């Protein structure tokens, strides 16, 4: 059984068909990529899979269960973590609080625990803090744990966001342009981090990328989305040499 | 010139060294001593400096009413409050530091209880001198509950709710009716159903009932307004406030616009103090837990919160009902402190006062709520002699705060009890 199985997913914004008959199958532990020019509908695909939008047609099966119609927090709690293109960090909260909060569905102390600070609550909060710190260590921002996120440099904010998504212990991690706006050094580091978490946590990763170098290096298979339709799917080499991709995505000139 | 600034600096350093090692425990002892001082020799000192009687509010009222009394009032405040409390705090601080350390080592709760006991004794002796002080302290403590509960919605959750007067009214009327029916021979509700001697023990029941009714009212606001974000809550909650007010005005069973009186005298200072402490403890526990932090996440980015497994709708509803509950409790206490309620108390002016306290003190902060409630309450009492000008000064102050500190005086600060009660480092 594949981890994520999307079948003929279609989504309309009013009269505009943003995604048409989208199919996708991700196995456990795979790294997959989604590329495409601006406005192709890549982020919409993410929003459909994570339940922020409800598909007009089609099926989405995550871990064998149909997720169409479920709320985003329910889908997320099943083990679907994600990051956002524009990060969406909580501007008044510290780094540690970000990562701890993503473990919300794992907490069982309930309102009474929250009100009266019971032993169970203290235990769970402590455990959450420890897990959060080890994740921050993994992405290399542990020393910033008590900083408010808005004070951090851009690269560190990206790492915090990845740590936050990892805190919900996902089986599949969706990364929406994790290297957007990064300089070459930051880019190299974030790619190392993605490799690390893939190796150490053994989760599947599905990433949207603008920079071809990143997808070509990281991904096993790549889909190319143009105007809401998949025009090509294959290994990095196949994608790179596919005339349709070159035509639609890279422009007429050959880049490599 | 340089010499002067150097001595200035060294003087500032001496002051800092002098005061930096004083823990909260020592300050509380100092304040207690000052208050006892006033009780013992206050009348005599007031007489000596030429004040007609012991000033009730640090002499501010005298100063504003009669400018010629300014030196006398300042002298009194210095002699009775500032000097004794500072000197005592400094003298006992080595001992208090050791005591604070010891207490903290036994348990944080014990340490907190000792601090609260000291604070309570100081308030007790201070309010012993006049009934005016007593009622003012009670109202200030209630204002802390109200401000804190509204801060949960407007600060921590970042929605704008206007329905707090409505919740206060629901709590006030529920607790009042409960007590009048059961423990008072009343012309409205007939003879008491239970022995009046039981009344004080059942007072918490009435208050909690008031809180629950307020929470029920909150549910009516929350169901339609939390479907989406935006201005809906502000509009619906404002409407709710007016509906509750005119509903009670037209309800003859509870006296209509004339209101209800003859509330039994259950809301004594220890009772109000205990409820305020309890509220502070519970709300602070809540907002510091991950469940409470979810409110901040919903405020700062709801989509992200939702994608990080937070059930945003339930989070918002819970917090709103929780805040309304405490507003209801505060309303019940308020009715029994004033011992009279009418619907007119819970209108737009009340709303303005509560909002002022929240935004003046600081959003998303327990410290801020305490400072806002105490500050605005004291200020509005102190400026009473200025009559109409009071309503120019207080709004002006609010505008200044909004310009220079848009989120309030002490916003976005965690209230960490352990830091508050811990001993201060030894001086070098």
pLDDT one-digit tens code per residue, B383-420: 888 888 888 888 898 899 989 999 999 999 899 988 89
- Say if B412 is an interface residue toward chain A (CB within 8 Å): yes
Partners of residue A76 in chain B, C-beta under 8 Å: 306-309
pLDDT at B66: 85
Q: Is B426 part of a structural domain of the chain? A: no
- Same domain? B76 vs B138: no
Q: Is B120 part of a structural domain of the chain? A: no
pTM of the predicted structure, to 2 decimals: 0.93
CA distance to partner chain B, nearest, from residue A95 (Å): 12
Which of B40, B73, B107 lies at the terminal end of a domain, its last residue?
A: B107
- Same domain? B40 vs B176: no
CA distance to partner chain B, nearest, from residue A212 (Å): 27
Torsional sign, CA A162, A107, B224, B150 = negative
**Closest to B332 (Cα-Cα) out of B137, B146, B133, B140:** B146
- Same domain? B203 vs B263: yes
Stretch B57-62: mean pLDDT, rounded? 85
Q: Is B113 part of a structural domain of the chain? A: no
pLDDT at B426: 56
- Same domain? B22 vs B143: no
What is the domain range of residue B415?
131-420
- Same domain? B85 vs B166: no
CA distance to partner chain A, nearest, from residue B311 (Å): 6
CATH number at residue B414: 1.10.3470
Name the residue of chain A whose CA is nearest to B280's CA: A115
CA atoms within 13 A on the CB side of B104: 17
Confidence of residue B196 (pLDDT cuts 50, 70, 90): confident
B297: CB partners within 8 A, 6+ apart = A90, A93, A101, B304, B305, B308, B310
Partners of residue A128 in chain B, C-beta under 8 Å: 290
Chains A, B: CB contacts within 8 A come to 98
If one compares B268 and B185, the residue with the highest pLDDT of the two is: B268
A216: how many CB neighbours lie within 10 A of its CB?
A: 18
pLDDT in tens, B347-396: 998 999 999 999 999 999 999 999 999 999 999 888 888 888 888 888 89
- Same domain? B81 vs B144: no
- Are B9 and B419 a contacting pair, CB within 8 Å? no
Which one of B299, B303, B308 has the shortest CB-CB distance to A102? B308
Structural domain count, chain B: 2
Q: Is B114 part of a structural domain of the chain? A: no
First and final C-alpha spacing in chain B: 29
- Same domain? B332 vs B205: yes
Give the bridge partners for A81, in sequence order: A173
- Same domain? B99 vs B135: no
- Same domain? B149 vs B73: no
Rounded CA-CA distance A111/B95 in Å is: 40
pLDDT at B5: 63
pLDDT at A251: 64
- Same domain? B145 vs B179: yes
Rounded CA-CA distance A107/A102 in Å is: 10
CA distances from A187 to A193, B30, B383 (A): 10, 59, 61
Q: What is the pLDDT along chain A (256 residues), one digit of tens a residue?
A: 899 999 999 999 998 999 999 999 999 999 999 998 888 999 999 999 999 999 999 999 999 999 999 999 999 999 999 999 999 999 999 999 999 999 999 999 999 999 998 999 999 999 999 999 999 999 999 999 999 999 999 999 999 999 999 999 999 999 999 988 888 899 999 999 999 999 999 999 999 987 888 888 899 999 999 999 999 999 999 988 888 888 876 666 555 5
Residue B78 φ then ψ, to 5°: -65, -50
Confidence of residue B67 (pLDDT cuts 50, 70, 90): confident
Confidence of residue B1 (pLDDT cuts 50, 70, 90): very low
Two tokens, residue A43: 């982020």
Contact: B294, A104; criterion CB under 8 Å: yes
Rounded CA-CA distance B423/B420 in Å is: 9
Whether the ipTM is more than 0.90: the answer is yes
Stretch B71-93: mean pLDDT, rounded? 92
- Same domain? B345 vs B388: yes
Rounded CA-CA distance B391/A159 in Å is: 50
Contact: B300, A102; criterion CB under 8 Å: no
Which one of A90, A102, A125 has the shortest CB-CB distance to B300? A90
Res. B427: pLDDT tops 50: no
Q: Is B427 part of a structural domain of the chain? A: no
Q: Is B125 part of a structural domain of the chain? A: no
Rounded percentage of chain B residues whose pLDDT exceeds 90: 73
Q: Is B57 part of a structural domain of the chain? A: yes
Tell me the pLDDT of chain B averaged across its residues. 91
Q: Is B157 part of a structural domain of the chain? A: yes
- Same domain? B137 vs B91: no
Two tokens, residue B421: 């009660």
Res. B58: pLDDT tops 80: yes
**Which of B91-100, B102-111, B203-212 ranks highest by mean pLDDT?**
B203-212
The DSSP line for chain A is --SEEEEEEEEEETTEEEEEEEEEEE-TT-EEEEE--TTSSHHHHHHHHTTSS--SEEEEEETTEE-TT--HHHHHHTTEEE--TT----TTSBHHHHHHHTTGGG---HHHHHHHT-HHHHHHHHHHHHHHHHHHHHHT-GGGTTSBGGGS-HHHHHHHHHHHHHHT--SEEEEESTTTT--HHHHHHHHHHHHHHHHHH--EEEEE-S-HHHHHHH-SEEEEEETTEEEEEE-HHHHHH-HHHIIIII-SS---
- Are A148 and A93 a contacting pair, CB within 8 Å? yes
Which of B92, B107, B122 lies at the terminal end of a domain, its last residue?
A: B107
Rounded CA-CA distance B83/B74 in Å is: 12
Rounded CA-CA distance B389/B401 in Å is: 18
Rounded CA-CA distance B371/A108 in Å is: 34
Rounded CA-CA distance B157/B357 in Å is: 17
Two tokens, residue B81: 């409050």
Cα A136 to its chain centre, rounded Å, is 17
């Amino acid at each position: 059984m594949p981890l994520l199985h999307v079948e003929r997913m279609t989504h309309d914004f009013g009269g505009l068909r943003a995604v048409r008959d989208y199919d996708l199958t991700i196995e456990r532990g795979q790294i997959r990529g989604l590329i495409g020019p601006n406005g192709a509908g890549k982020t919409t695909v993410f929003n459909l899979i994570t339940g922020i939008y409800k598909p007009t047609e089609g099926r989405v099966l995550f871990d064998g269960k149909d997720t169409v119609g479920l709320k985003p927090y329910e889908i997320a709690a099943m083990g679907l973590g994600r990051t956002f293109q524009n990060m969406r960090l909580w501007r008044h909260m510290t780094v540690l609080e970000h990562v701890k909060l993503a473990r919300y569905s794992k907490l069982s102390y309930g309102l009474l625990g929250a009100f009266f600070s019971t032993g169970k609550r203290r235990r769970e909060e402590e455990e959450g803090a420890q897990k959060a710190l080890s994740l921050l260590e993994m992405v290399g921002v542990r020393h910033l744990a008590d900083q408010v996120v808005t004070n951090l440099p851009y690269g560190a904010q990206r790492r915090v966001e990845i740590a936050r998504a990892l805190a919900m212990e996902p089986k599949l991690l969706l990364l929406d342009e994790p290297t957007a706006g990064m300089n070459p050094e930051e880019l190299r580091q974030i790619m190392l981090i993605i490799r690390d978490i893939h190796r150490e946590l053994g989760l599947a990763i599905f990433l949207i990328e603008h920079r071809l170098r990143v997808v070509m290096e990281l991904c096993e298979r790549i889909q190319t989305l143009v105007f809401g339709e998949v025009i090509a799917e294959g290994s990095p080499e196949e994608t790179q040499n596919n005339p349709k991709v070159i035509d639609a995505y890279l422009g007429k000139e050959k880049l490599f | 010139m340089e010499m002067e600034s150097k001595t200035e600096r060294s003087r500032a350093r001496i002051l800092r060294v002098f005061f930096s090692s004083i823990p909260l425990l020592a300050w509380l002892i100092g304040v207690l001593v000052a208050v006892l001082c006033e009780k013992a020799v206050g009348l005599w000192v007031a007489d000596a400096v030429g004040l007609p009687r012991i000033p009730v509010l640090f002499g501010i009222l005298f100063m504003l009413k009669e400018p010629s009394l300014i030196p006398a009032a300042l002298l009194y405040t210095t002699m009775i409050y500032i000097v004794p409390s500072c000197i005592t705090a400094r003298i006992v601080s080595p001992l208090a530091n050791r005591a604070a350390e010891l207490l903290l080592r036994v348990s944080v709760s014990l340490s907190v209880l000792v601090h609260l006991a000291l604070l309570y004794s100081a308030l007790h002796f201070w309010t012993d001198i006049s009934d005016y002080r007593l009622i003012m302290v009670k109202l200030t403590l209630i204002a802390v509950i109200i401000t804190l509960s509204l801060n949960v919605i407007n600060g921590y959750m970042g929605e704008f709710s206007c329905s707090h007067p409505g919740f206060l009214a629901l709590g006030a009327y529920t607790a009042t009716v409960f007590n009048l029916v059961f423990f008072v021979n009343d012309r409205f509700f007939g003879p008491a159903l239970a022995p009046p001697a039981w009344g004080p023990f059942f007072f918490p029941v009435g208050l909690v009932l008031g809180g629950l009714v307020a929470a029920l009212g909150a549910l009516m606001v929350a169901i339609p307004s939390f479907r989406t974000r935006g201005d809906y809550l502000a509009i619906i909650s404002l409407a709710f406030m007016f509906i509750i007010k005119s509903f009670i005005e037209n309800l003859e069973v509870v006296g209509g616009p004339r209101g209800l009186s003859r509330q039994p005298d259950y809301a004594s200072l220890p009772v109000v103090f205990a409820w305020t402490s309890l509220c502070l403890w519970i709300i602070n526990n809540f907002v510091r837990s991950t469940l409470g932090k979810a409110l901040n996440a919903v405020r700062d980015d709801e989509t992200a919160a939702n994608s990080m497994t937070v059930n945003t709708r339930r989070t918002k509803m819970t917090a709103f009902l929780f805040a309304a509950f405490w507003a209801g409790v505060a309303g019940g206490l308020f009715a029994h402190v004033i011992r009279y309620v009418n619907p007119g108390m819970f209108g737009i002016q009340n709303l303005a006062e509560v909002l002022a306290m929240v935004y003046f003190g600081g959003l998303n902060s327990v410290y801020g709520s305490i400072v806002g409630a105490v500050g605005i309450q004291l200020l509005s009492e102190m400026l009473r002699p200025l009559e109409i000008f009071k309503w120019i000064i207080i709004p002006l102050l609010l505008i200044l705060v909004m310009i220079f500190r848009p989120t309030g005086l002490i916003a976005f600060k965690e209230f960490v009890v352990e830091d508050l009660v811990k001993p201060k480092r030894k001086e070098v």
